[in-house]
Structure 1
Amino acid sequence: MLLIVDYGVGNVNSVANMVRHVGGECEISSDPESILDAHKLILPGVGAFDAGMGALEERGLMNVLSKAVLDRGIPVLGICLGMQLMTRSSQEGSLPGLGWIDGDVCKFSFDDPKLKIPHMGWNTVNIPMENPLIVPEERQRFYFVHSYYVSCDNDSDVIARCRYGHDFVAAFARGNIFGVQFHPEKSHRFGMALVRRFMEFPNA
């Protein structure tokens, strides 16, 4: 069963609707045993970094998620804030992240007044390598809403980039860990294709 982690941050129902729309089955839960028993996990999220990490800690989910993902090898997809929480830290807050990916979260800062923050709307992504999540094809477009972006230490973790003022990481992957800065549940056929490929990724 694919489980969407409900930690009180983000619209879990829209993600669940997308999973079901492409023919998948899913459960929405914050129960630790259900998380450990899941075949796959989605960690969604909208809002501030410290609020997200604080919500995970309040629900006792930080160690549970790390055990599921790092020890048991359960595939996990982080969406927007969920992706950012997988890193070490964020300029948005003071709390440490989950630390699953070698990288940090940075704030957009531009001198050009035409570049509004948050970065919002449809953007094409560049896919530099073959990967399990996004098939390289011309003009893949996804929907973004964010003021912060992930900076990865290792280019080998980066599976998609986007440009807004400068290049930034649109998606990363390392083993069973995947993160996307955009919202696949709002990205129509490109988002549907991504969710299907995550569902097809081998279980632990």
Structure 2
Amino acid sequence: MTADKPLRADARRNRDILIAKAREIFDAGDFFDLRFDDFARLAGVGTGTLYRHFPTREALAEAVYHGEVAALCDRARQLRDTLPAAEALAAFLRGMVDHIAAHEGLARTLATLLADRSGTLAGGGKALEEAVADLVAAAVRDGTVRDDVDPGAVMMALHGVGAAHNRPNWRTEADDVITLVLDGLRRPR
């Protein structure tokens, strides 16, 4: 698929259906049990439609990944625009823990599929880091967050939370890590 011309409405709808079905399958952790052609059948579209939009599993995984990143970045912007800065940052970080908890299969599937496409993952990571940086910058401007912490450190904490997902008390510990991060970011009075 080329980015040169916009898709017709029916083609866009079919592409969106394929991405939604793939996301559901990835989330369930069933991706590797299916042949690639099965995605078309499960999405209710023809095999030609699948290959026209996504010639490979990796192309479909990239589309799912970019959709996830875009949704998370949109969430960060929405929070920044509707809540006080410190609350927006806290809500986003706690929401990331919720997202990680709810989509463990999706994260594992995407990491496996895109392992040799580090540029794809790096681009999404950069977009998320920019979203976090915007939230941190807003909180610095309003004086609620210290100005000497790099947003990359906040991202590193989120990566650590995600990487430790197999720990027995993960959810409690993840919430505790976010509390530590938020407490550490708070500007002393």
**TM-score, length-scaled by structure 1:** 0.24
Q: Whose strand fraction is larger, Structure 1's or Structure 2's?
A: 1
Q: Whose helix fraction is larger, Structure 1's or Structure 2's?
A: 2
Larger radius of gyration between Structure 1 and Structure 2: 2
